[in-house]
């Protein structure tokens, strides 16, 4: 993983779950991709907001931009599960 030049970012599908604003259809919260978190994290300017890991301390994913890569925008207000969640949690 060497994303230093482009800045840290992940695809929304890597988070597995997301919450969407029913009016704007914008991504507002995601499930943190860290297996130590298991919490909903708000997005601030498209980036993961401050939160703590379940075992204490700040999450290393804070400040990482989440790129909205939804392929089915016709379901704006649902929790959508992707296989990526299992993949990420196993890392
Ligand atoms: Zn986290």
The per-residue pLDDT for range 23-62, each reduced to its tens digit, is 888 899 999 989 899 889 999 999 999 999 988 999 999 9
pTM over 0.85: no
The per-residue pLDDT for 88 is 47
Q: Which residues fall inside 5 Å of ion ligand 1, going by CB?
A: 32, 34, 37, 59, 61
Confidence of residue 4 (pLDDT cuts 50, 70, 90): very low
The per-residue pLDDT for 14 is 84
Compute φ and ψ for 61, nearest 5 degrees: -90, -5
CA of 38 from ligand 1 middle (Å) equals 7
């Amino acid at each position: 993983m060497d994303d230093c030049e482009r800045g840290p970012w992940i695809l929304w599908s890597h988070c597995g779950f997301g919450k969407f604003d029913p009016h704007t259809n914008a991504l507002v919260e995601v499930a943190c991709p860290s297996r130590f978190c298991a919490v909903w994290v708000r997005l601030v300017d498209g980036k993961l907001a401050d939160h703590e890991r379940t075992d204490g301390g700040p999450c290393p994913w804070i400040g990482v931009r989440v790129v909205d890569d939804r392929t089915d925008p016709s379901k704006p207000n649902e929790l959508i599960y992707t296989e990526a969640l299992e993949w990420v949690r196993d890392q």
